Amino acid sequence: MAAALSADVEWTDPTCPVARAVDLVGDRWILLIIRDAMDGASTFTDFHQRLGVARNILSDRLRRLVEHGILSKEAQAVGKRHVYALTEAGEDLFIAIVAMRQWGERHAFSPEESHSSLVDRAGEPVPELQLPATDGNPLTAATTHVRKVS
Amino acid sequence: MAAALSADVEWTDPTCPVARAVDLVGDRWILLIIRDAMDGASTFTDFHQRLGVARNILSDRLRRLVEHGILSKEAQAVGKRHVYALTEAGEDLFIAIVAMRQWGERHAFSPEESHSSLVDRAGEPVPELQLPATDGNPLTAATTHVRKVS
DNA sequence: CTACATGAGTTGCATTTTGAAACCATTATG
DNA sequence: CATAATGGTTTCAAAATGCAACTCATGTAG
């Protein structure tokens, strides 16, 4: 498990993994870039067309993601020049994106609105994430706490 | 499951739950506010001291979170005046925050750095989130895809 | 070979958002 | 009564964002 970061980052809160994650990927466009990368987008134009983000901003975000080891950028010999691909660290954001998606499905749509959904290869809906304790009941914010570093 | 939103939002991508979630909570300070709310922060001063965010920005984010039904704001009779608390929709972000935390633990720390950790009431570390398919293997971006709305 | 199109950006501003500091209004507290 | 704490708002400078236009390299049709 290599570190995702080669460039130096000014951490908001150096001992908190949530804060470090937010420093790296807690940006509106970055999260949507990763969503689209997981859905098959791979070139600058892919991302630009899907997101409708300004080109300079897209350029900046792609560069930062490559610097931080979340995307890789490879030159292709023929045809399309550059291909962005998720690194292992980028692929590993899958659970986080799914968590966002499932929260959005539950809380950002009214009952009569329809939305896209995530399905497996058989076309079956992906199940809901949960965090079972050893006793089987789901853990929540109320049943857990942060143990600060010593 | 009531909708989280009372105020109108300009959705970046109205049919995508990830995009709607990002529109509501995909902001650096918002995610850290929710983290701290889950860790016991409840007043303006709590959040300000923990985050070190500018007061006007904090004020704006708290207002937006209340507008969108993620936090509630209640006046207290005696002592501290206002108390912010997570609504049901806010509590339900627990899994998403944990996903961010676990990704951060895996990819934003070098081996020799230490970080805070999330433990249950018994002091046991919270297990890693995963998304098992019906066959038992974890689902990934490669084994799932987005089915667009019809 | 020339003209045009495509991909992947960069540059130059105008607008927006952010951040820091100061200010303000209401309770408490000595 | 003077002072402090709480929960903000205002002001203004600096940074980030967004849009349009420009660049530059390759590929493609005539």
pLDDT tens digits for A85-132? Answer: 999 999 999 999 999 999 999 999 999 999 999 999 999 999 999 998
Provide the pLDDT confidence category of residue A149 given band limits of 50, 70 and 90.
confident
Q: Is the pLDDT of residue A79 over 60?
A: no
Distance from CA of A104 to the nearest CA of B (A): 5
Give dist(CA B100, CA A93) in Å, integer. Answer: 8
Chain B residues within an 8 Å CB radius of A107: 1, 3-4, 21, 24, 69, 89, 92
Q: Is the pLDDT of residue B124 over 60?
A: yes
Enter the tokens of residue B53.
């965010």
CA nearest neighbour of B99 among B44, B43, B21, B46 = B21
Q: Which helix (H) or strand (E) holds B146?
A: strand B144-147
Query: Is A12 within 8 Å of B19 when comparing Cβ atoms?
Result: no
Chain A residues within an 8 Å CB radius of B19: 32, 35, 104
Query: Is B117 within 8 Å of A35 when comparing Cβ atoms?
Result: no
Q: Which of residues 88-117 of B touch strand C (CB under 7 A)?
A: none
Give the per-residue pLDDT at B149.
87
The closest nt to B57, taking CA to C1', is C18
Provide the pLDDT confidence category of residue A80 given band limits of 50, 70 and 90.
low
Q: Which fold has domain B17-143?
A: Arc Repressor Mutant, subunit A (1.10.10)
Q: Is the pLDDT of residue B8 over 90?
A: no
Tell me the per-residue pLDDT of B16-53, one tens digit each, with 9 for 90 and over. 999 999 999 999 999 999 999 999 999 999 999 999 99
Give the per-residue pLDDT at B110.
95
Separation of B142 CA and D26 C1' (Å): 32
Share of chain A above pLDDT 90, in %: 82
Q: Is the pLDDT of residue A77 over 70?
A: no
Q: Is the pLDDT of residue B136 over 90?
A: no
Sequence-ordered list of residues with C-beta below 8 angstroms from that of A43, at least 6 positions apart, any chain? A80, A82, A83, A84
Tell me the per-residue pLDDT of B52-110, one tens digit each, with 9 for 90 and over. 999 999 999 999 999 999 999 987 655 567 899 999 999 999 999 999 999 999 999 99
Give dist(CA A70, CA A85) in Å, integer. Answer: 9
Provide the pLDDT confidence category of residue B134 given band limits of 50, 70 and 90.
confident
CB B53 within 8 A of CB A12: no
CB A18 within 8 A of CB B101: yes
Give the per-residue pLDDT at A144.
97
Give the per-residue pLDDT at B45.
96
Separation of A78 CA and C7 C1' (Å): 12
DSSP character string of B50-117: HH---HHHHHHHHHHHHHTTSEEEEE-SSSS-EEEEE-HHHHTTHHHHHHHHHHHHHHSS-TT----E
Q: What does pLDDT average to over chain A?
A: 93
Query: Is B39 within 8 Å of A146 when comparing Cβ atoms?
Result: yes
Enter the tokens of residue B83.
């108390």
Query: Is A107 within 8 Å of B89 when comparing Cβ atoms?
Result: yes
Interface test with A, best of B49, B95, B105 (most A CBs within 10 A): B95
Give the per-residue pLDDT at B105.
98
Give the per-residue pLDDT at A5.
78
Using DSSP, state whether A110 is helix, strand or coil: coil
Distance from CA of B130 to the nearest CA of A (A): 7
